[in-house]
Amino acid sequence: MSVFFLSAPPSISTVTHRSTATTITTRCSSLQTLPQPLPPQPLVPTSLSQPSSSNILLTNPKASPASSSGCSLNCPHFDSCSGCTHEDNLHRPVILHEATMFFKKHGVSDFTFDTCRLWGWRCRAKLAIRGSSTDPLIGLYEEGTHNVVNIPDCKAHHPSINAAVELLRKGVFENSELIFTEMHKVLMMMQVLSLFSGIKILHIDPYDEDERTGYLRYVQMAVTTYNTSLPVSERYRSGRVQVSLVWNSRSETSASSEKLNNLATYLWRNGGPNSKVHLIHSVWANFQTSTNNVIFGNRWRHILGERDFWEHVGGIDVYLPPSSFGQANTRAFDSLLQKLHKYVPVGSSVTDLYAGAGVIGLSLASARKCRKGICVEINKESKLAFEKTIERLPSSIDSSISWHHADTSIEPLSWLVGSDILVVDPPRKGLDPSLIGALRDIKSAERKAMTLESPIFKTKDEKRPWILRARENSIQIPSRTLQEENLSLPQTLIYISCGWESFKENCVALLSSNAWHLTKAHGFNFFPGTQSIEILAVFKRGPGASVKKKKPGKRKKNDKLSFKGQ
């Protein structure tokens, strides 16, 4: 697996785009001006339920903004960093026109696009560490190389990430005023100006890929913006960072463990709760000695700080250990979940494939949209996250919810029995071919289910090892209400996509079978500054309403005169 890091983007204004065909209003967030030379920063929204974003009805995708200066990247690392691909019009990536035309071609003329947060949106970043102990490089690879570029002022990163990186590398928070209130700024500057570099002062050698020497390979920075001790309006800007140090050793018992503990202690002493400004949430270590491009090894260790890392999205508290997958753009993901809720009727039975920690299914259950939920995920590390998350669900929830560690590419229909709605959130490569094939042939599969002819739908005397293993590794939350079993298959498919090219292929394959038709589609700006957009598409069973074309005929004389006279 190759290492690929995204990064991206602050000046903000309200820009209104007008054309003769339609009016598109794009709000690039409100503006809080800071002293120059710092670029202006976005005003933090007051709550996750009210994200700083705007919905754009893209009826005229060719409409171009009158000025792009209000939505420009203004990043000093743009020319050298591989994270971002364009500097202007962050609210309207170039790919938006193609997406609008694609959906219009397939019957969705009201495709919308949520601009979301344009700067300081990335709350989870994996950064390579190379160079030397006297001149450490912490950032992203140059495109097509393994040469690391420092990105201390990345405009995509949540400001707390940039501050934590600076603490790790230099010990001087040159841009720390992006994070805190005026009072906190003074306290921080009094403290940090006396700090020395963590890597430098402790003589921590970064990893050398050629020699396979050194200690610190990568760092993962994850920001939690959910702090109930603060007013809601202050939580985002005061986010704390979970720091995960990827260490070049097999375990914490290696000869270099003292250096690791010293570095963790340095970070905690200068950014923990006893420092002037509490920046660091916790410090973790991951141990990795592989020579390939895989970032994390299988062994983790909690060193300092809080063990439990929580975020609030989709109306629920979500537990996110450093080993599990987490969305980089927390605000945009919350916006997407709010939209998804609208397409799930109350009391539905939902199957969520590629479920991760089951956030989507649990969010629906919390909103009482889901009476029965099945979450299936291949990453076993997500099991702990699911277990911890359900502990904070309201006790009033009366839903049957289960999480399974399984490979959905093996007989995928076996997970869909009795579900009204299927939700899929696959990786960038898209749906597994076996799942595409099953969905294309879902009508015939349902006929077999009703006659109990197919072994896929037999729940008694199960002998298939992959199903048995999945059941053994599952977590079950029973419902207090007796629920009727049925053998129907989903009538609705909700597809969440982070890979545009794979989505197009999957979409065409589904539509060409006439087993599904497309009813709604929404785009979300999860990665401003790049050509990536997140898609939420809703499919319904059947070929859909066909458009009958009128046969060409002779135009009546009165019609000709009427047309001519207009």
Instruction: Tell me the CA distances in angstroms from 381 to 325, 367, 391, 455, 517, one per residue in order.
Output: 9, 26, 17, 30, 35
- Distance between CA atoms of 52 and 41, rounded to whole angstroms? 13
Are the beta carbons of 542 and 345 closer than 8 angstroms? no
In the DSSP assignment, the letter for residue 69 is G
Catalytic residue (one of 123, 375, 498, 507)? 498
- Looking up tokens 């959906």, which residue turns up? 103
Which residue pairs, CB below 8 angstroms and at least 24 apart, start in 129-135?
Answer: 129/206, 129/207, 129/216, 129/217, 129/218, 129/219, 130/206, 130/207, 130/208, 130/209, 131/206, 132/205, 132/206, 133/199, 133/200, 133/203, 133/204, 133/205, 133/206, 134/200
Enumerate residues 6+ apart whose C-beta is below 8 A from 491. Answer: 420, 421, 540, 541
CA–CA separation, 348 and 96 (whole Å): 32
Beta carbons of 147 and 178 less than 8 angstroms apart: no
Going by the annotation, the residues of the binding site for S-adenosyl-L-methionine are: 327, 354, 377, 425
> Which residue ranges make up the annotated binding site?
327, 354, 377, 425
Distance CA 128, CA 138 (A): 6
Q: Rounded to whole angstroms, how far apart are CA atoms 274 and 343?
A: 47
Tell me the residue ranges of DSSP E strands in 390-451: 400-405, 421-424
Residue with token string 């009210």: 50
Contacts of 262 (CB under 8 A, 6+ apart): 202
**Is 498 an annotated catalytic residue?**
yes
Give the catalytic positions in this structure.
498
